[in-house]
Structure 1
Amino acid sequence: MAGNVVESVQTKAREVAKEDFDKAKVLFQDATRSGSYLYPIKGIFYFASHRSLWKPLISRLLPTIGLSVGVVASMFAFTYVPQLAILVFVNGPLAVFTTVLLILSESSTIISVLSRNFLLQDALLDTFDGTLVSRDATNIVSEGRQLKAGGDPMARLGKILKTPFSGFSPKAIVRYFMYLPLNFIPVIGTVIFVLLQGRARGTAAHERYFQLKRWSASQRSEWLKEHVGAYSGFGTVATLLEMIPFASIVFSFTNTVGAALWAADIEKKESEMSSSTAPGLREAAKKAE
């Protein structure tokens, strides 16, 4: 009897594992096919080659670097040894490295919470809108702010007409600490943790874009549901970049640029599809007359 129960549990566990693996496989294929994971990298090169986009970063550089140094130094000074003592029991020698990753992840979250809410909100908003303007996506930017004539993309940004990015979601903080124990699982746990954080990070990448599109909450939810793999791919790469100590501030801006480049490409693709289908619709209308 006991043997049958154990066998039944094992069978169910294999079914669940296979189901989760299949879902992860589909997400990975979607992310790969979309090419979304490349946009954080594209953002780095685009940002580096467009000096006008540096203005928001430069204006916030010193206070944010000070915040980053203070948070990372404090986290290593006060939490490295206690967390290492716990992780060494499950990760063995690898605990030296997994503890560093864990603290960097924790520090990144704390820095993100503080900086995005108190230091970088307006600067990231300007960077996103400025990147769209530099890609000639002025029609959509004008839905959220006034645009001036002439000048470089940043100089053209006028008064904000719509509320900028929302602050760091309390749900995101709860979700972060809820998944934190995954790091106690050797190697694979940390990988899963980063992937989960990446998925959450990805869904927030186009918050400003959806706002400019005037999409309702249900429209956003439906779009994100249809493109889970793509946003997870973007978010994972963006998360890994923002986990790099002291460089996280720069990558926050380059990731914002990457998200804007992605939004501009989506707009371009939709415009091309509309242009190609419109003549066909007009022809069909003529035949119906």
Structure 2
Amino acid sequence: MAARVKETAVQEAEHLRQLTEEGVKSGAYIYPIRGIYYYLSHRDLWSPLTSKLVPTITTGLGVTTFMFVFTYLPQAAIMAFTSGPLAALSAALLVLSESSTLTMVLSKALLIEDSLIDTFDGTLMSRGQSELVARERTVKSGGAGNVMARLGKLAGKPFAKFTPQAIIRYFMFLPLNLIPIVGTIAFVVLQGRRTGPQAHNRYYQLKGMDKTQREQAVEKRKAAYASFGIVAVLLEMIPIAGIFFAYTNTVGAALWAADLEQKGSTAPALREQAKKAS
């Protein structure tokens, strides 16, 4: 039994090493950073965020207040055994991080999903992918160079609407943060591996891919998606600024999608199937 456990551990470590190496080689982790610079330099992409700023800030304040009232003292008591005299500060920082992440989950589910889709589509159009966007929504002519002004009505429902499973999974992984350093790293990696592929849900919808085709595409780039997701999660966990990074991460995902289109990186078989589906 001990030999089997050791063998399994070695195999998992090797698998993780390979994924990490593939993720680094992919360069996908750079796109969330590129998204920040691109977003700041393209003012016409700001309107979806500004239109949702007040309700998301209100939600964030409510979540943060709730978390401090009901979770700060229990977590401080637990961390007294792991962080010693720094338990009060460590618990406060942990609650802020948890509040930011939970605010992102709730906001994406209830408030900003449509505006994130607008941001994704607008970024694609700014990169010359108007024909791709036009497959799933009306694209207006003109707009005086403002890509957001050219976005018309969506042709169909947004892909992968929110399910309560996102909240459930979040709370399942949340206790990992009570373990100093290692636990937080594990939480970020698990969240990143789950959320990374979701960054291109809209892209695969625009491509007309069905569930099987999407799964094949995600499997092909699973390491790249994990590296993208980990960086994106880290940014969105930053208190207060998390809502801003939700939009810049969306821009980064769209920039990645535009690069894939320009390079023709979608697998040929998937492209043919997508054409037939459309």
Is 1:179 matched with 2:173?
A: yes
**For residue 240 of structure 2, what is the aligned residue in structure 1?**
246
TM (normalized to structure 1)? 0.85
Report the residue type matching 1:250 in the other structure.
F
Distance (Å, rounded) in 1 between the aligned partners of 2:217 and 2:265: 17
Structure 1: unaligned runs, 5 residues or longer: 1-7, 275-289
Shift of 1:186: 3.4
Distance (Å, rounded) in 2 between the aligned partners of 1:99 and 1:81: 8
Determine if contact 1:98/1:183 at 8 Å carries over to the other structure: no
Computed over aligned residues only, the root mean square deviation of the Cα atoms, in angstroms, reads: 2.2
TM (normalized to structure 2)? 0.88
Distance (Å, rounded) in 2 between the aligned partners of 1:21 and 1:88: 32
**For residue 14 of structure 1, what is the aligned residue in structure 2?**
6
**For residue 233 of structure 1, what is the aligned residue in structure 2?**
227
Q: Quick check: 89-98 or 68-77, which moved more? A: 89-98
Distance (Å, rounded) in 1 between the aligned partners of 2:256 and 2:196: 12
Determine if contact 1:149/1:156 at 8 Å carries over to the other structure: yes
> How big is each residue's C-alpha offset from its partner over 1:16-57, in whole Å with a ceiling of 9 and x where there is no partner?
221121111111111111111010100000000000000111
**Which protein has the larger Cα radius of gyration, Structure 1 or Structure 2?**
1
> How big is each residue's C-alpha offset from its partner over 1:230-275, in whole Å with a ceiling of 9 and x where there is no partner?
011111111011111111111111011001001100111108998x
Shift of 1:188: 1.1
Is 1:110 matched with 2:102?
A: yes
Is 1:205 matched with 2:208?
A: no
Is 1:161 matched with 2:149?
A: no
Q: In the superposition, relative to structure 1, how do residues 95 and 226 fare at CA in structure 2: closer, same or farther (>3 Å)?
A: farther
Shift of 1:112: 2.4
Distance (Å, rounded) in 1 between the aligned partners of 2:91 and 2:249: 25
1:13-162 equivalences under 5 Å are 13-92=5-84, 95-96=87-88, 99-100=91-92, 102-151=94-143, 152-162=146-156
Report the residue type matching 1:253 in the other structure.
Y
Identity %: 52
Distance (Å, rounded) in 2 between the aligned partners of 1:33 and 1:205: 19
> How big is each residue's C-alpha offset from its partner over 1:108-134, in whole Å with a ceiling of 9 and x where there is no partner?
343123212322122111100000000
Distance (Å, rounded) in 1 between the aligned partners of 2:99 and 2:160: 21
Determine if contact 1:27/1:229 at 8 Å carries over to the other structure: yes
Shift of 1:221: 0.9
Determine if contact 1:165/1:208 at 8 Å carries over to the other structure: yes
Determine if contact 1:71/1:110 at 8 Å carries over to the other structure: yes
2:109 is paired with a residue whose SS is: helix
**For residue 249 of structure 2, what is the aligned residue in structure 1?**
255
The count of residues paired between Structure 1 and Structure 2 equals 266
Q: In the superposition, relative to structure 1, how do residues 97 and 177 fare at CA in structure 2: closer, same or farther (>3 Å)?
A: same
